[in-house]
Amino acid sequence: MPERYRSIVDVHVILHRDGEILLLERQGTGYCDRMLHLPSGHLEEGEPVPHGAAREAREETGVLIDPGTLTLAAVVHHRQSPGHARVGMFLLAETWTGEPVNTEPHKCGKLQWADPHLLPSNTIDYPAVGIRAWLEQRPLALHGWGSTETVR
């Protein structure tokens, strides 16, 4: 019997205030360096989605988020390459404690607030799809699947 399909679950945090969202410039990781991404990472074994999102935001920006205040903004089924897909859970944070700072300078060049309707051209496509889905109030979006990308 073949093994069941398993996918990596990514958590992305949309820190939203005053009409802008926080983006981080990747640096020194070998993946999309000098490009912008949301605070994000992978779920750890046995970790609920909101707790993983709050943990990643704390690790990358130093802010404290009560996982119970996060709301699901969108889900993106992302195909990174043939045979390698992931599920991205995009969670909205409108309240947190602390001022965001770059707590991982070995992975992040800078923090940047941006208008989510006018994302900088160097925003990585995968999180940009999740941000657009949130803005358009589409609960599910596809990325990297080709002609099947339209979900209503």
Q: If you average pLDDT over residues 107-134, what whole number do you get?
A: 97
The residue that leads in pLDDT, 148 or 117, is 117
At 100, list the tokens.
Answer: 């965001």
Query: What b/e string do you get for 92-126 counting C-beta neighbours within 10 Å, with b at 16 or more?
Result: bbeebeeebebebeebbeebeeeebeebeeebbeb
pLDDT at 95 over 70: yes
pLDDT at 122 over 60: yes
pLDDT (tens digit per residue) in 15-57: 999 999 999 999 998 889 999 999 999 999 999 999 999 999 9
Contact assessment for residue 57 and residue 37, using Cβ atoms and an 8 Å cutoff: no
The Cβ of residue 147 has, within 10 Å, a number of other Cβ atoms equal to 5
Q: If you average pLDDT over residues 103-121, what whole number do you get?
A: 97
d(CA 151, CA 128): 16
Q: If you average pLDDT over residues 49-72, what whole number do you get?
A: 98
At 129, list the tokens.
Answer: 């799809």
pLDDT at 14 over 70: yes
CATH number among 3.90.79.10, 1.10.599.10, 2.30.30.830, 3.40.640.10, domain 8-147: 3.90.79.10
The letter for the amino acid at 116 is P
For the chain, the domains span: 8-147
Q: How confident is the model at residue 150 (pLDDT cuts 50, 70, 90)?
A: low
At 42, list the tokens.
Answer: 């992978």
**pTM of this structure:** 0.93
